[in-house]
Amino acid sequence: MVNYKDLREWIDQAKAIGELAIVEGADVKYEIGAVCQLSAKNQGPAVLHQKIKGYRPNYRVITNMLSNPRTLDLTFGLPVEYTIKDIVEDLRKRITEWKRDAANFPPAVVDAAPILENVVEGDAIDLNAFPVPLWHELDGGPYIGTADSWITRDPDTGQINCGTYRAQLHDATTVGMMVTHGHHGRLHRQKYFDRGQPCPAVLVVGQDPLLYANSASPISVDISELNYVGAIRGSPVPVIQGRTTGLPIPANADIAIEGFVDPVARKKEGRFGEWQGYYAGDVTPQPFLKAVNLYYRNDPILSGAPPAKPPYGDADLWKSVIYSALLYNDLSGNVPGIKGVWRPKVGGAYYLQVISIKQQYGGHATHAGLAAASCTSGAFSGRYTVVVDDDIDPYDLEDVMWAVCTRSLPTDTDIIKKPRGSHSDPMFHRTPETAGLDSTNPRAIIYAVKPYEWRQDFAPVNIASEELRKEVLARWKDNFEGRLKTI
């Protein structure tokens, strides 16, 4: 059960389970980003920066909120001893209920809220007062939004979306809005732009980690993340109504910037080190949010999740786990015999999907592969979908690649030519005419399974049986002084 109401209480609980490191004196220029990379690489604790060089000592930054299984468990209200596999298996079952219940948990509007402790309007707003990191050495500027939630409304249906899209700090009152084509906030924004109207939006940072994780996860377009988080919590998310836009703003979040995104005006955005592990996107003209109101709590905390070459990216671990659970859930309703789903960190949880199935009919592997490559949580920015048999452990990349090497033929690979790709794909050749903003990239489905039609004749696997391995281990393990750790 989730039993923290906001980031503050979450920090107390992370500390209580020994998963919080406090760092003082770091520089927003590169140091906070580099510390984050080290903690992510080591599946380390959450990192709370205070007394940041050159800023008010009580203005803080938190990173690595979900960099290890224990903080991930804490965030989703699961037992903290759960392993990665336990989390995937448990969540994929619960997701069905959360999706179903989301409609019953619209956010609850409250009058008094911690986020109203400080409200600043118009030209009095100074976003430069916040310790906004320059995360990576080749970034084009500081980014206030990495672990953020952009709140937008569909002008036709009123549906509210929360999406995590990067936000460059341009100046005291404006921040960039870099959202990939097809993402829900982008679809909302385009509807306003098509009418020649500014798009009302709120950028939230320092929200509770559960709202962040779900803003950054592929939840279907007809479910509002605020409702979905309410369903996970079992109680509605308290919100205030933005004074100018009326948009819901989480009442217990730390910082919210409310304003409008102009349909025509653009500012140069980028470069930014991205999750694939490259600075592949160009500097491009992008829409931006002009702040009308700034809301923040006393002693504000700015949340950050800078991407980097996996496994140095802040979000690499949790994306693998949560995106796997979502894909597993999407597939379970469509394809029988799914035994496991894993989206490893190496592909930033996007470029490589492994689906393990117990083959039951001719074409079963194709069914699973095509479904994984095109369902809500699997369609965006894929490269390789690999289908393996149920004797292969999808979490073990060596096992998976053994299956690829021995049970697949390159000539049997299916190629999908133009699915939706990421603007920061490093394989997209950018020229002055093609910025890669609406890129598509081909995707391969590799069937690393025993061919269904003659599977009974497939050569037996050359490994001593599990029983025999256990037997010899029990008999002679002492001769190896603890060095035989697995069978």
Ligand X SMILES: Cc1cc2nc3c(=O)[nH]c(=O)nc-3n(C[C@H](O)[C@H](O)[C@H](O)COP(=O)(O)O)c2cc1C
Residues at the interface with ligand X (CB under 6 A): 146-147, 161, 163-166, 178-180, 183-185, 216-218, 305, 315, 319
Query: What token pair was written down for 394?
Result: 């999808």
Give whichever of 170 and 450 is closer to ligand X, judged by the CB atom.
170
Task: Give the pair of three-digit tokens for residue 48.
Answer: 């709370």
- Residue (191 or 339) nearer to ligand X, CB: 191
Partner whose binding site includes residue 178, from Mn ion, ligand X, none (CB under 5 to 8 Å by kind): ligand X
Considering the complex, state which of residue 184 and residue 345 has its C-beta at the smaller distance from Mn ion.
184
Q: Which of 49, 153, 170, 184 binds Mn ion (CB under 5 A)?
A: 184
For position 276 contacting Mn ion by CB under 5 A, the verdict is: no
Q: Give the one entry of Mn ion, ligand X, none that residue 216 binds, where binding means its C-beta sits below a cut-off of 5 to 8 angstroms depending on kind.
A: ligand X
Determine if 153 is a binding residue for Mn ion (CB under 5 A). no
In the bound complex, what is the minimum distance in angstroms from residue 351's beta carbon to Mn ion?
21
Whichever of 161 and 252 has its CB closer to Mn ion, that residue is 161
Q: Which is nearer to ligand X, 184 or 297 (CB)?
A: 184
The binder of 305, among ligand X, Mn ion, none, by C-beta within 5 to 8 A per type, is ligand X
Shortest separation between residue 221's beta carbon and Mn ion, angstroms? 6
Q: Are 375 and 95 in contact (CB under 8 A)?
A: no
Closest distance of CB 78 from ligand X, Å:
19
Nearest approach, Cβ of residue 36 and ligand X (Å): 11
What are the Cα distances from residue 12, in Å, to 17, 252, 278, 301?
Answer: 9, 15, 35, 14
By CB under 5 A, tell whether 161 contacts Mn ion.
yes
Site for Mn ion (CB under 5 A): how many residues?
A: 2
Write the burial class of residue 157 (CB in 10 Å: 0-12 exposed, 13-18 middle, 19+ buried): exposed
295 φ/ψ angles, rounded to the nearest 5 degrees? -120, 135
For residue 420, give both structure tokens: 């939706």
| Residue 179 binds which of Mn ion, ligand X, none (CB < 5-8 A, kind-dependent) | ligand X
With respect to ligand X, which residue has the nearer C-beta, 293 or 377?
Answer: 377
Kindly report the length of the chain.
487
Write out the two tokens for 64: 């690595």
Minimum CB distance to ligand X smaller for 316 or for 389? 316
Closest approach of Mn ion to the CB of residue 315, in Å? 17
Q: Could you tell me the smallest distance in angstroms from the CB atom of residue 202 to Mn ion?
A: 15
Q: Which stretch in 154-162, 227-235, 272-280, 397-405 sits in contact with Mn ion by CB under 5 A? A: 154-162
Which residue number, 179 or 404, has a Cβ lying nearer to Mn ion?
Answer: 179
Which parts of this chain interact with Mn ion (CB under 5 A)? 161, 184
